[in-house]
Amino acid sequence: MESDNLKWLTVVILFLTWIFFKFENYFKSVILAMKLQGPATVPFFGNALYLTEGDVIQRFANIISTQFHGSISRIWLFFIPFVVVYKPEHLKIIMSSSKVSEKNFVYKVLEIFFCNGLITLKGHEWKNHRKIIQPFFQTNLIENDYYHSFLKYSQDIISELGGQKCVKIQNITNKYVKKILHRIILGVDLDSVEETPFKKIENTAIEKLWKPWKTFQNSNPNLKQSIQSNFYERKSQLTKNNCLLDKLIEKVETSEFTEDEAINEAITFLIAGYETIAITLIACLYYLAKNQNIQEKVYQEIQDATSNGTCNNITVEHINKMHYLGQCVKETLRIMPPIPLLTRVLNSDITLDNYTIPSGTNILMSPLVTHRVQETFPDPLKYDPDRFSKENIDKLPPYSYIPFSIGSRNCIAHKYAYLELKTIIACILKEYHIELKEAYNDLSFGYRVAMTIKGGVWFNINPRKNIVK
């Protein structure tokens, strides 16, 4: 009997030791999280429910209200603690090397949206894919191959705006951002956006996290099938037109990618390139309509750069001369970074403000909060493109401006995004003066995979040629 008890005791001790070593890092992060301050939690959910309430800006401000919780705080997603950091010097330590941090389990959930491409891949596989795809986003390719599509569809936006006095801008801009993306990624000219299975992704990433039973539901089952048929159709065509899918097919032919990898990457780019651009475009036009003096300055710059020509002959050289417009896009991305949250898991212990944060801890970072740090961006809610003037931009601390993330996992398409946004805005503002139809207090944001704008943004538009100086 006694020896039986001893046996059981040994089994229990061995089991507990195994649990301890297996989950040592988890226990260490839990102990650390219990020492840190953070918003009040609800049993079982932790802070997960906060992510589902109210205006998104308010929600994130609640979670990461740094002035109440210190420079390092914590939130709980059910039983998983996240250490929340926002200071540029802390981001520098975390984001500077993949030896320090990498993408965590949240990106496993995102695979349902993006499939397994650049956004969600890790380690050697990611490195290899990035090395192959990076050349497709070099400046000369963007300017020579993709710019034509930016310009063509910007001209279509101008035509569609013709004759209208008052427009719900996202009805038009969203459609053309989608068309540009289909042209550049898949080589397809959409007559109607209804032709694509690329519909709104209904379930938010956040919703999937707090409704775990929805986690592994496919968000867009038709998308993969449709891209697969695109892939095989284009593969059998002899003439290629240099869309991203054609470039990926070439990599399949040289055995650098499998067919499935190429298809997954096409899906990743299609999804990553839509909401991010669409929302930035609307927000930038909104800020320019709200700040008439800034809009006038942009208009003057466009006129000077294009020597009073028409929208049809704006060249990439003209766009590159529009520095102030570039500052407006940057300031829009500061106030409203489309990807407001980034998360990682630590690969090694680090020390931040006297706290040792153990390897294995999940970290939550927010470009939205970092961009609103008073010391870096005084009067942070004011729309002020001069923050990014030549003289001021050099004064910004490293890692204080991160709309495209930073380090090796930054956005591969950030130059593409700037050029697309500048081209569309330059064309619209060259032809039209825009005003807000009503005095909005501010935009109201929701959160899907990226941020979204709630409700319609209505502009009164007036052709520039009708404006008597």
Under the criterion CB under 6 A, does residue 419 sit at the interface with ligand HEM? Answer: no
Q: Whose Cβ is closer to ligand HEM: residue 119's or residue 302's?
A: 119
Q: Whose Cβ is closer to ligand HEM: residue 57's or residue 119's?
A: 119
Under the criterion CB under 6 A, does residue 272 sit at the interface with ligand HEM? Answer: yes
Q: How far apart are CA 123 and CA 126, in angstroms?
A: 6
Give me the least distance between CB of 103 and ligand HEM, in Å please: 7
User: Which member of 338, 340, 358, 360 binds ligand HEM (CB under 6 A)?
Assistant: 338
Q: How far apart are CA 309 and CA 205, in angstroms?
A: 45
What character string, x for contact with ligand HEM (CB under 6 A) and - otherwise, covers 362-401?
A: ----------------------------------------
Give me the least distance between CB of 360 and ligand HEM, in Å please: 19
Q: Whose Cβ is closer to ligand HEM: residue 243's or residue 417's?
A: 417
Q: How far apart are CA 314 and CA 427, in angstroms?
A: 8
Only one residue has tokens 């993330």, namely 405
Judge whether 381 and 399 are in contact, CB under 8 Å: no
Q: In what order do the strands lie in the sheet with 458-463?
A: 166-168, 458-463, 432-436
Cα angle vertex 273, ends 268, 277, to 5°? 160
The reply to whether 166 sits in an annotated binding site is no
Q: Whose Cβ is closer to ligand HEM: residue 282's or residue 434's?
A: 282
User: Which member of 416, 432, 445, 459 binds ligand HEM (CB under 6 A)?
Assistant: 416
Helix residue spans in 23-76 (DSSP H): 24-35, 56-63, 66-69
Q: Which among 275-283, 302-310, 314-322, 386-394 is the span making contact with ligand HEM, rule CB under 6 A?
A: 275-283
User: Is residue 148 classed as helix, strand or coil in its secondary structure?
Assistant: helix
Strand 458-463 and strand 445-447: pairing? unpaired
SS3 content of the chain, % helix, strand, coil (to 5): 55, 10, 35
Under the criterion CB under 6 A, does residue 413 sit at the interface with ligand HEM? Answer: yes
User: Which member of 94, 161, 180, 277 binds ligand HEM (CB under 6 A)?
Assistant: 277
Under the criterion CB under 6 A, does residue 178 sit at the interface with ligand HEM? Answer: no
Q: Whose Cβ is closer to ligand HEM: residue 32's or residue 404's?
A: 404
Region for residue 377 given its phi and psi (left: phi exceeds 0; alpha: psi -120 to 50; beta: otherwise): beta
How far out from the chain centre does Cα 66 lie? 22
Under the criterion CB under 6 A, does residue 339 sit at the interface with ligand HEM? Answer: yes
Give me the least distance between CB of 329 and ligand HEM, in Å please: 8
Q: Whose Cβ is closer to ligand HEM: residue 41's or residue 215's?
A: 215
Give me the least distance between CB of 135 and ligand HEM, in Å please: 13
Q: How far apart are CA 248 and CA 314, in angstroms?
A: 30
User: Which member of 264, 276, 295, 366 binds ligand HEM (CB under 6 A)?
Assistant: 276
> Which residue in 208, 215, 217, 177 sits closest to 193, CA to CA?
177
What is the identity of the amino acid at 119? I
Exposed, middle or buried, 426 (CB in 10 Å: 0-12/13-18/19+)? buried
Residues 114-143 that bind ligand HEM (CB under 6 A): 118-119, 130
Count of residues interacting with ligand HEM (CB under 6 A): 23
Under the criterion CB under 6 A, does residue 403 sit at the interface with ligand HEM? Answer: yes
What is the identity of the amino acid at 215? T
Under the criterion CB under 6 A, does residue 269 sit at the interface with ligand HEM? Answer: yes
Under the criterion CB under 6 A, does residue 327 sit at the interface with ligand HEM? Answer: no
Q: Which among 92-100, 220-228, 292-300, 402-410 is the span making contact with ligand HEM, rule CB under 6 A?
A: 402-410
The secondary structure of 382-406 as a DSSP string is S--GGGGSHHHHTTSPTTS--TT--
Q: Which among 13-21, 246-254, 266-274, 387-395 is the span making contact with ligand HEM, rule CB under 6 A?
A: 266-274
> Which residue in 323, 344, 112, 308 sits closest to 218, CA to CA?
112
Give me the least distance between CB of 326 and ligand HEM, in Å please: 13
Under the criterion CB under 6 A, does residue 409 sit at the interface with ligand HEM? Answer: yes
Query: Which residues contribute to the site for ligand HEM (CB under 6 A)?
Result: 118-119, 130, 268-269, 272-273, 276-277, 280, 333, 338-339, 342, 403-405, 409, 411-413, 416-417
Q: Which residues are annotated as a binding site for heme?
A: 411
